[in-house]
């Protein structure tokens, strides 16, 4: 944590260090140059001091010779001490270039002092002439010292010429260095600041973009922020939130879908019932009437008619009774047999029915009244319109996980362009000959019941017949679906 | 686009770094070393060579020889002096050298009272050895330790003989000297007279002149007027040869006269090369320089005490114009 703060501190520290380094360097350099200047000045000052000190000696000597008092002697001693000190100072200026001249110079000073002393000595011995001679010599030596000072300073200037020029050049270079350094630092600081600000603002921008997308409802895009500070932490949290919201959202959608499907299946059921009710004219009345008719036919010796009536009554009862619940395939097959008995009575020889039924498959659960509408269709299209009748095959076979129910006829077939809409569950306008519950109704109900899309295949060749295959899962699909939801 | 930007920025950065580095190097590097503080604690001999004629070919060679030898022997030597025979300046330099208590002085002898006073009294007082070089001043008068240079008497003889062999044992010869009457000139003259005295048919005229150019010209004019049948000239002081020849050339053909001189004048070599001088005595200035320094150091280090007061003579040769 505290990464952003750390970064800011780091930037400040870098700037501070750079400034400190430059300041220290320049100060150090300045000090160095200053002391060099001082040294140089010192040299000249010291040499100059010798000249004036030597002149003082001569003046004081003169004063003493003219007026030999204690004060003047003190003065003379003082100036002699001065010139000795000046000599010691000059001694330090010795270097390889001026060694010879400087030694001469110092010896000259010695000579001056000696001559002065001699003059004093002669004076004290009252040898005025000798004393004066020595004084003249001292004056001359003092003059030589002045001249030599100038020569030395001149030599000095020549010797140090390169040095002085160096200093001037260096100060010019220093000015240039200042400019370059400023450019370099400006550049570097701009770069560092840019990089630094980017490292803060880029994650923020990414986060902003992600937030925008999230607010626009795109929950499936992952939020990724390439940074290692608080923003990244924020982004991770944000991403987790997005995933949670996304999951919740999907769950709600699934539930809504499920509800929608349930609603739909209920509607379909209602529709079937309504259709059925429409076709029931007071079913109990009809039912009782049919039974009475059957008894009557039986009593009148027409057993065949009586059976037919019983079949019709059974069919009717089945219709009323099982429509809204699941039945076994066995019940369906029984109804179909009753139905076919009635149709046989109607079409006699024109209808040939072949049934191949695998008894082991008949315990499969199936929504009520699913087979009958299909067979009714086959009868309507393949048998009814044809003078010479038609053949209908019904096969129930076991196929691993599913039970295959095939209804085949040798009728005119279904045009290719109609097959798809039927399977897709769209309402197909038929010519109204069917008893009610349509083909599409069956498809939808099967799908809803098993929760599987792939429940029916239609194979048809124009002029040769149609084969409808219902693929019924052995386990009930809704249970699977519920289980799947529990797991999710 | 981005890549190009990065490359440009890095290049810029490198360039800036480079220039900053270069200028920093220049600004902080001090290649101008100050002269090293004198490290030599052991005292080296401090010698001074003092001449009256600085920057003449002859004395430049003496100075070069002396410096070479001084370097070899580990002594420090400086050449001081005056220009154009400025005696006052020369003597002042000599006095400064004495007052500066140098270890030894090599000096071009000057045959004046003041010079002798300085060398005899001052130098002796400070105990500074003096060696005369090229021009001698007798030991008794100057208390010099020794003399290094040509045997001027021999040089005079050689020049006179050269003249005789060129001119034949008959003729009039003018010997022009300067009025200083310096010791070395006297020696030369002595040598010449010695030779000419053996030839009665050779008449010599001795003349003196002050050493300014105008005076030399005037004297030469006089001589040419007085002795129109002169066959040859000898400039005893090499420095007056130039002015003398100039005057002779103005009056007639220089080639007609036999003119001889010495090599220690500032114009000597060029006069010889242009053929105006027929011959001259060539001395060995480098050797004089070397030898004098060598002797002085030997004396100082007590290797050779005392030095030969008569002097150490260097080679003299005859140099003839190639005509």
Query: Measured between beta carbons, which residues in chain A are less than 8 angstroms from residue B27?
Result: 29, 170, 173-174, 176-177
Q: Model confidence at A482, in pLDDT bands (50, 70, 90)?
A: very low
Averaged pLDDT score across all residues of chain A: 84
Domain of residue A338 covers: 323-487
| CATH number of the domain enclosing A430 | 3.30.565.10
Q: Looking at CA atoms only, how far is residue A156 from chain B in angstroms?
A: 10
Question: Which of these, A303, A315, A385, lies nearest to A350 by C-alpha position?
Answer: A385
> Quick check: A161 contacting B, CB < 8 Å?
no
Q: What CA–CA distance (Å, rounded) separates A148 from A136?
A: 18
The reply to whether residue B100 touches residue A108, judged by beta carbons under 8 angstroms, is yes
Same structural domain, A200 and A327: no
pLDDT at A427: 60
Mean pLDDT within A238-264? 90
Residue from the list B13, B36, B100 with its beta carbon closest to the beta carbon of A104:
B100
Cross-chain residue pair B24–A177, CB shorter than 8 Å: yes
Residue A212, in any domain of the structure:
no
* Pick from A428-442, B6-20, B77-91, B204-218: least confident: A428-442
Q: How far is CA B124 from the centre of its chain?
A: 25
CA-closest candidate to residue A101, choices B35, B68, B307: B35
Q: Band of the pLDDT at A390, cuts 50, 70, 90?
A: confident
Task: Give yes or no for residue A157 having a pLDDT over 90.
Answer: no
Mean pLDDT (whole number) for B227-233: 89
pLDDT > 90? residue A167: no
Average of pLDDT values for A236-262? 90
ipTM: 0.80
What is the rounded average pLDDT of the residues B208-222?
A: 89
Residues A199 and A70 in one domain: yes
Instruction: Report percent pLDDT > 90 for chain B.
Output: 36
Confidence of residue B31 (pLDDT cuts 50, 70, 90): low
What's phi and psi for A355, nearest 5 deg? -115, 125
- On the question of pLDDT at A3 being above 80, the answer is no
In angstroms, rounded to a whole number, what is the distance separating the alpha carbons of residues B265 and B57? 8
DSSP per-residue letters across A305-322: HHHHHHHHHHHHHHHHHH
Contact B100 A96 (CB under 8 A): no
Number of separate domains in chain A: 2
Query: Does a structural domain hold residue A408?
Result: yes
User: Could you say which of A176, A204, A232 is where a domain stops?
Assistant: A204
Poorest-pLDDT segment among A89-93, A127-131, B32-36, B106-110: B32-36
Cβ contact (<8 Å) for B12 and A97? no
Does the pLDDT of residue A55 top 90, yes or no? yes
Q: Is the peptide bond before B306 cis (omega within 30 degrees of 0)?
A: yes
Residue A91 domain-assigned? yes
Interface A:B, Cβ pairs < 8 A: 91
What is the spatial distance between Cα A45 and Cα B58, in angstroms, rounded to a whole number? 40
Facing B30 at nearest CB: one of A100, A166, A174: A166
Question: Is residue A280 domain-resident?
Answer: no
For residues A344 and A479, membership in a common domain is answered with yes
Among the candidates A158, A175, A204, a domain finishes at: A204
pLDDT, residue A435, reads 43
Residues A198 and A329 both lie in one domain: no
- The 3-state secondary structure of B219-254 reads HHHHHHHHCCCCCEEEECCHHHHHHHHHHHHHHCCH
pLDDT of A348 reads 82
Residue A369 has pLDDT above 90, yes or no: no
Tell whether A343 and A195 lie within a shared domain: no
Q: Give me the pLDDT at residue A135, please.
A: 93
Confidence of residue A303 (pLDDT cuts 50, 70, 90): confident
Residue A95 has pLDDT above 50, yes or no: yes
Query: What is the pLDDT at residue A76?
Result: 92
**Residue predicted with more confidence, A200 or B102:** B102
Whether the CB-CB separation of B153 and B315 falls below 8 Å is answered with: no
A49 and A181 together in one domain: yes
Last residue of a domain, one of A204, A233, A255: A204
| Average pLDDT over all residues of chain B | 88
Query: Is the same domain home to A327 and A197?
Result: no
Chain B partners within 8 Å of A174 (Cβ): 27
Domains of chain B: 46-150+285-315 (3.40.50.2300), 152-282 (3.40.50.2300)
Structural domain includes residue A265: no
Residues A437, A441, A444, CA angle at the centre, nearest 5°? 160
Q: Residue A386: inside a domain, yes or no?
A: yes
Range of lowest pLDDT (A1-10, A150-159, A335-344, B300-309) = A1-10
B280, B185 contact by CB (below 8 A): no
Residue A246: predicted pLDDT: 87
Walk across the sheet containing B104-108 and list its strands.
Answer: B76-81, B46-51, B104-108, B130-133, B146-150, B312-314
pLDDT band at A169 (very low <50, low <70, confident <90, very high): confident
In a domain, A308, yes or no: no
Residue B56 clears pLDDT 70, i.e. is over it? yes
A300 in a structural domain: no
Judge if A40 and A173 occupy the same domain: yes
Whether residue A16 is predicted with pLDDT greater than 50 in this model: the reply is: yes
Residue A64: which CATH number?
1.20.120.1730
Cβ of residue A42 closer than 8 Å to a chain B Cβ: no
Encode pLDDT of A230-245 as tens digits.
888 888 888 888 889 8
pLDDT at A484 over 60: no
B31-51 average pLDDT score: 73
Asked whether the predicted pLDDT for residue A320 surpasses 80, the reply is no
pLDDT of residue A480: 46
Q: Contact B16/A183, CB-based, under 8 Å?
A: yes
First-last CA distance in chain B: 87
Q: Does A136 touch chain B (CB under 8 A)?
A: no
């Amino acid at each position: 944590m505290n990464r952003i703060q750390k970064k800011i501190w780091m930037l400040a520290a870098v700037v501070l260090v750079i400034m400190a380094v430059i300041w220290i360097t320049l100060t150090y350099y300045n000090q160095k140059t200053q002391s060099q200047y001082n040294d140089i000045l010192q040299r000249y000052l010291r040499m100059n001091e010798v000249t004036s000190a030597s002149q003082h000696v001569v003046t004081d000597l003169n004063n003493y010779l003219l007026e030999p008092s204690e004060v003047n002697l003190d003065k003379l001693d003082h100036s002699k001490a001065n010139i000795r000190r000046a000599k010691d100072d000059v001694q330090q200026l010795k270097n390889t270039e001026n060694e010879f001249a400087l030694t001469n110079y110092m010896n000259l000073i010695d000579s001056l002092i000696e001559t002065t002393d001699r003059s004093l000595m002669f004076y004290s011995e009252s040898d005025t002439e000798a004393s004066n001679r020595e004084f003249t010599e001292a004056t001359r030596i003092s003059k030589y010292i002045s001249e030599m000072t100038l020569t030395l300073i001149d030599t000095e200037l020549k010797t140090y010429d390169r040095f002085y020029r160096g200093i001037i050049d260096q100060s010019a270079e220093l000015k240039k260095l200042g400019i370059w350094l400023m450019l370099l630092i400006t550049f570097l600081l701009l770069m560092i600041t840019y990089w630094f600000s980017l490292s803060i603002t880029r994650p923020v921008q990414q986060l902003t973009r992600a937030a925008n997308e999230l607010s626009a409802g795109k929950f499936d895009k992952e939020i990724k922020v390439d940074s290692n500070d608080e923003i990244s932490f924020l982004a991770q949290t944000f991403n987790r939130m997005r995933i949670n919201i996304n999951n919740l959202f999907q769950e709600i959608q699934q539930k809504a879908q499920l509800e929608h499907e349930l609603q739909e299946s209920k509607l379909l059921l209602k529709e079937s019932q309504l259709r059925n009710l429409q076709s029931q004219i007071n079913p109990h009345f009809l039912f009782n009437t049919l039974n009475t008719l059957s008894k009557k036919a039986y009593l009148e010796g027409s057993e065949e008619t009586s059976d037919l009536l019983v079949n019709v009554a059974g069919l009717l009862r089945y219709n009323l009774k099982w429509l809204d619940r699941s039945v076994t395939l066995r019940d369906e097959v029984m109804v179909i047999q009753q139905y076919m008995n009635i149709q046989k009575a109607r079409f006699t020889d024109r209808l040939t029915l072949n049934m191949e039924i695998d008894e082991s498959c008949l315990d499969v659960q199936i929504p009520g009244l699913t087979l009958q509408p299909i067979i009714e269709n086959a009868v309507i299209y393949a048998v009814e319109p044809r003078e010479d009748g038609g053949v209908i095959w019904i096969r129930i076979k076991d196929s691993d996980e599913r039970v295959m129910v095939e209804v085949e006829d040798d009728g005119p077939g279904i045009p290719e362009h109609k097959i798809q809409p039927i399977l897709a569950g769209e309402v197909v306008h038929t010519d109204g000959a069917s008893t009610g519950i349509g083909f599409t109704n069956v498809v939808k109900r099967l799908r809803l019941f098993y929760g599987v899309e792939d429940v029916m295949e239609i194979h048809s060749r124009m002029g040769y017949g149609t084969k409808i295959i219902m693929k019924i899962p052995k386990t009930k699909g809704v249970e699977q679906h519920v289980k799947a939801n529990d797991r999710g | 686009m981005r890549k190009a930007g990065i490359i440009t920025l890095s290049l810029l950065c490198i360039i800036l770094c480079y220039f900053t580095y270069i200028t920093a190097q220049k600004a902080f590097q001090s290649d101008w070393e100050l002269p090293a503080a004198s490290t030599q604690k052991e005292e080296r001999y401090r010698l001074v060579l003092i001449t009256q004629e600085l920057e003449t070919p002859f004395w430049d060679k003496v100075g070069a020889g002396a410096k070479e030898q001084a370097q070899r022997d580990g002594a420090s030597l400086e050449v001081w002096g005056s220009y154009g025979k400025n005696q006052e300046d020369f003597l002042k330099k000599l006095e400064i050298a004495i007052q500066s208590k140098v270890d030894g002085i090599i000096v071009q002898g000057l045959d004046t009272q003041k010079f002798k006073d300085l060398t005899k009294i001052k130098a002796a007082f400070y105990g500074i050895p003096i060696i005369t070089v090229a021009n001698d001043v007798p030991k008794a008068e100057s208390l010099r330790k020794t003399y290094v240079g040509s045997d001027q008497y021999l040089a005079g003889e050689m020049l006179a003989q050269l003249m005789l062999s060129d001119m034949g044992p008959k003729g009039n010869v003018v010997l022009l000297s300067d009025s200083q009457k310096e010791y070395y000139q006297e020696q030369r003259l002595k040598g010449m007279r010695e030779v000419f005295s053996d030839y009665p048919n050779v008449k010599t005229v001795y003349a003196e002149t002050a050493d300014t150019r105008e005076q030399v010209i005037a004297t030469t004019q006089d001589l040419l007027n007085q002795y129109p049948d002169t066959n040859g000239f000898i400039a005893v002081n090499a420095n007056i040869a130039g002015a003398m020849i100039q005057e002779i050339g103005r009056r007639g053909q220089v080639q007609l006269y036999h003119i001889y001189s010495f090599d220690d004048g500032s114009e000597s070599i060029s006069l010889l090369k242009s053929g105006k001088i027929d011959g001259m005595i060539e001395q060995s200035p480098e050797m004089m320089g070397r030898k004098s320094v060598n002797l002085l150091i030997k004396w100082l280090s007590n290797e050779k005490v005392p030095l030969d007061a008569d002097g150490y003579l260097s080679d003299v040769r005859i140099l003839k114009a190639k005509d």
